[in-house]
Amino acid sequence: MDSRIANQFILASIEVFRKTGNVTLKKTGLEYFPSSQKINAGIATILGVTGDIKGQFIITLNEQFAMKVASAILMGVPVNTYDEVAESAVCELGNMIGGEASRLLHEADLKCDITVPSIVRGKEMEIAFYPVAPMFIVHFSCEWGPIDLILSFDNKSKA
Amino acid sequence: MSKKILVVDDATIMRLMLKHLFENNEFTVIEAINGKEAVDLYATHKPDLVTMDITMPDMDGITAVKEILKIDPAAKIIMCSAMGQVDKVKAAVMAGAKSFLVKPLQPERVLATVKQFLG
């Protein structure tokens, strides 16, 4: 996977958090996995990428974090339970990061679109892509807690 | 009588956010969860302005803009989408949208844009 693609997703994540509640997202680590990996998260939103770049990205976070995102989007209205509103906020977070990354990639002449997000819930998940593809996990932290971005793109992508 | 805004978005959180914002600024809000429902509600309620997402099930926002403008060529529609790349903005403007706001939405910017068209 070309580092330019990963970098646009990292930059997009930082920008979306800055605009959503003025939160500073800090990159705390980057890991590479050749096939699959077990993660402890709670919630994962999965989005596909199509066009010049083909692959998927996944955002993993916990319920507390999701409620903070929902509250920030709602301009400070408290969200104290993980419900349809908080879950919708997680999907929208995926849309916004994907949308911003797509905009940045367009500027680099890589045209791509983002598919509709889906949600997976569970304490321990094993993430794998088929056909088997390597993945990068980018670890971030901010005042709301930890959040990870999992990236896997087809080697045949234009980049 | 307060101005009526039709908020069109498949995401619960975005409809809720815009509803809070507009109702706190004395607008009346109607909600649609996709483009098809938006076209039907526009025909029934004739809102003063529409905020329209792009990526939605059943009927996307660009198609809905075209359909609403067939009903009312003077319809005021503001796109609100996470997909802010140039080709999407061009497609929305070509379809007849008056403005384009990229998510994450900034409340002050949304209000300023709405007031620009509602006076």
> Chain B closest CA to A35's CA: distance in Å?
30
Question: Which CATH superfamily hosts domain A3-153?
Answer: CheC-like (3.40.1550.10)
Predicted confidence at residue A78, as pLDDT, reads 96
Beta-carbon count within 10 A of A27 CB: 13
Q: Which residues of B fall within a CB distance of 8 Å from A114?
A: 55, 82-83
Beta-carbon separation of A92 and B87 below 8 A: no
Residue A4 CA to residue A29 CA, distance in Å, equals 17
Q: Which domain holds residue B24?
A: 4-118
Domain ranges of chain A: 3-153
Residue A128 gets which letter from DSSP?
-
Pair A94, A115: CB distance under 8 Å: no
- Helix or strand (DSSP H, E) at B44: helix B35-45
Nearest CB neighbour to B13, from listed A88, A98, A111: A88
Residue A91 CA to residue A87 CA, distance in Å, equals 7
Q: What percent of chain A has pLDDT over 70?
A: 96
Return mean pLDDT, chain A.
92
Residue B76 maps to which CATH number?
3.40.50.2300
Pair B5, B49: CB distance under 8 Å: yes
Nearest CB neighbour to B86, from listed A92, A106, A116: A106
Mean pLDDT of A96-102: 96
Beta-carbon separation of A99 and B86 below 8 A: no
Pairing of strands A26-33, A135-142: antiparallel
Distances (CA, A) of A120 to A44, A49, A97: 5, 18, 18
Beta-carbon separation of A20 and B104 below 8 A: yes
Q: How many domains does chain B have?
A: 1
Distances (CA, A) of B73 to A77, A78, B39, B40, B69: 37, 40, 13, 16, 4
The pLDDT tens digits for B4-42 are 999 999 999 999 999 999 999 999 999 999 999 999 999
Catalogue the E-assigned strands of chain B: 4-8, 28-32, 49-52, 77-81, 99-102
The pLDDT tens digits for A106-158 are 999 999 999 999 999 998 888 888 778 889 999 999 999 999 999 999 856 56
Pair B7, B18: CB distance under 8 Å: yes
Interface predicted TM-score of the whole assembly (ipTM), two decimals: 0.93
